[in-house]
Amino acid sequence: MVTVRPLVATVLCAAVSVIGAQAQVASESQVKSAYLYHFAKMASWPQEALPTATSKLVMCVLGGDADFPDVLRSTLVGKNIVEHPIAIRHAQSLGELKSCHLVFFRASFSFVLRRTMYLPQSLASKKPAFFVSAKTRTFHPRVA
């Protein structure tokens, strides 16, 4: 199991470096987009999840601001996770999450967890100290 403190530090540093390369001040949505990208890069994706080099890594946004999926798309355009292209979807229902590898949600996390308990994906939330692993479905709290 990856320790959380170095993971959080690495992700934050990477997000700052991506955003620092831009001449403008990054919005909250751009920072979240960079975080999700670097989180996906650092994760170990099983062969069955991405069976070929052309398999897309699907990031889904459930609920939240209508513009966030567009910001995520524009921030990650042309980027890959290893050799896998990234696809962004704005899910309107829990049924749409079955094809997602990584789900970002702003709704009540207990509601989403109950409904997605047996789906094989990683979940990330705006809530502090929250991450659920796809493989173990265990919480990995942020260490302060």
In a domain, 75, yes or no: yes
- In which element (H, E) is residue 124 found? strand 122-125
Look at residue 144 and tell me if it is in a domain: no
Residue 18 has pLDDT above 90, yes or no: no
Long-range contacts of 99-102 (CB under 8 A, 24+ apart): 99/58, 100/58, 100/59, 100/60, 101/40, 101/45, 101/49, 101/50, 101/57, 101/58, 101/59, 102/36, 102/39, 102/40, 102/43, 102/57, 102/58, 102/59, 102/60
Q: What is the pLDDT of residue 17?
A: 53
User: Is the per-residue pLDDT at 60 higher than 60?
Assistant: yes
Banded pLDDT at 109 (limits 50, 70, 90): low
The CATH number that applies at residue 109 is 3.40.50
In a domain? residue 53 = yes
pLDDT at residue 21 is higher than 70? no
When pLDDT is averaged across residues 52-81 and rounded to a whole number, the result is 90
* Cα Rg of the chain (Å, integer): 14
pTM higher than 0.75, yes or no?
no
For the stretch 120-137, pLDDT in tens is 555 555 554 444 444 433
CB neighbour class for 75 (10 Å; exposed up to 12, middle 13-18, buried from 19): buried
Q: Is residue 97 part of a domain?
A: yes
Is residue 44 scored above 70 in pLDDT? yes
Total structural domains within the chain: 1
Q: What is the pLDDT of residue 105?
A: 75
Mean pLDDT of 100-127: 63
- Position 139 in a domain: no
Question: In this predicted model, which residue has the larger pLDDT, 119 or 56?
Answer: 56
Domain containing 111 equals 4-132
Task: Compute the distance between CA of residue 60 and CA of residue 57 in angstroms, rounded to an integer.
Answer: 10
| pLDDT, mean over the chain | 71
- Residues sharing a CB contact under 8 Å with residue 124, sequence separation 6 or more, in sequence order: 36, 39, 102, 103, 104, 105, 130, 131
